[in-house]
Amino acid sequence: MKYRTIGTGPHSREVSVLALGAMLFGSVTDERTSFALLDRYVEAGGNFIDTSDNYAFWTDGGQGGQSEELLGRWRRSRGVGDEIVVATKLGARPLAPGTSFTDNPEGLSAKVIRESSERSRERLGTERLDLLYAHIDDHTVPQRETVEAFGALVAEGTVGLLGVSNQAVWRVERARALAAAAGLPGYEVLQYQHSYLRPRTDVPDALFPDGSLGHAGPDLAGYLRAEPALTLVAYSPLLKGAYTRPERLPADYDHPGTPARLAALHEVARETGATPNQVVLAWQIGHELPVLPLAGVSSPAQLEENLAAVELELSAEQRARLDAAH
């Protein structure tokens, strides 16, 4: 396994370059399988696990919490302590069963941030959340209130690092500026969708009526170049299996630039003897920007494939070819 540092100051952590997504653990993925995957990931040197307080509400029409609860049971049964970094999120938990984060999210008020973080700590069985993200934006609450609420949790010692996901870059920068002006900790880890294929970001949906803010586009790349202390955690790096099952390719990736990048990807995969998935992960891990792929798995075979990608070294020429395809 390889590692990189996330965050700055006393709460910075060394985490494995491959993060494990636990979104469906405890729901779609049963407990026995989930425990086996977690055990193998840790055995291989992995120490960076990702969840959220709303995972996986859509599987039973509830409010989520199954993933955090499972991780709590796993932590207790294995005696897991501070050596494993568990990241969770708040803000997108439905306020009532049968609703969603698009029509009834908990939001980012000071009250929600405190109460939701307490529930997450209880479910996970930990006194401190290693990394806590604002999962989605909340335009109904002043950003200063959100910034101060997160800062208070860090000051109290119940949260280590702060992160943000699925927000416009200008909103992230505004929140960080407010935190800096107040002498408070700000967001240091940014979690956005990022993969080798590039999506259209102008396609609106229920959460983003003006087009997606959840993808790591050129604005975010430029922001990372300007702020080297920040880290991008890349969710859905393998596009839910679309690199091996083209019928799963999301509609926003169906555009004229995709075939050329797929051709380059498969060419490099043949040259290296690796799978396309492994090339994607290796491309991210060795990226000039600080990118940490966050990949979910549902079987031991998928996990082993992903773990092997950590040791895959792409040549400078192969990287240049991959980057140039469009």
Structure confidence at residue 118 (pLDDT): 98
In the block, residue with structure tokens 């806590």: 132
**Domain extents for the chain?**
3-254+276-314
Residue range 273-318, pLDDT digits in tens: 999 999 999 999 999 999 999 999 999 999 999 999 999 999 999 9
Mean pLDDT of 165-191: 98
Do 122 and 158 form a contact (C-beta atoms < 8 A)? no
Q: Known catalytic residues?
A: 55
Please tell me the distance from the alpha carbon of residue 1 to that of residue 158, in angstroms, as a whole number: 29
Please tell me the distance from the alpha carbon of residue 83 to that of residue 42, in angstroms, as a whole number: 10
Structure confidence at residue 161 (pLDDT): 98
- Three-state secondary-structure class, residue 188: coil
H or E segment at 280? helix 276-285
Burial of 209 (0-12, 13-18, 19+ CB in 10 A): exposed
Mean pLDDT of 204-218: 94
Structure confidence at residue 156 (pLDDT): 97
Point out which residues pair with 87 in neighbouring strands: 50, 131
| pTM, 2 dp | 0.97
Structure confidence at residue 103 (pLDDT): 95
Average pLDDT for the chain: 97
Residue 316 CB coordination number (10 Å): 8
User: Residues near 134 by Cβ (< 8 Å), separated by ≥ 6?
Assistant: 89, 90, 91, 108, 146, 150, 162, 163, 164, 165, 167, 187
Point out which residues pair with 293 in neighbouring strands: 234
Structure confidence at residue 33 (pLDDT): 98
Structure confidence at residue 147 (pLDDT): 98
Residue range 131-156, pLDDT digits in tens: 999 999 999 999 999 999 999 999 99
Let me know the angle formed at the C-alpha of 162 by 183 and 220, rounded to the nearest 5 degrees: 100
User: Residues near 159 by Cβ (< 8 Å), separated by ≥ 6?
Assistant: 117, 128, 129, 132, 150, 153
Residue range 114-135, pLDDT digits in tens: 999 999 999 999 999 999 999 9
Query: What band does 191 get if pLDDT is binned at 50, 70 and 90?
Result: very high
What is the residue type of 225?
R
Structure confidence at residue 106 (pLDDT): 97
- Three-state secondary-structure class, residue 240: helix
Structure confidence at residue 100 (pLDDT): 97
Mean pLDDT of 176-205: 97
Residue range 237-268, pLDDT digits in tens: 999 999 999 999 999 999 999 999 999 999 99
Fold of 3-254+276-314: TIM Barrel (3.20.20)
Structure confidence at residue 89 (pLDDT): 98
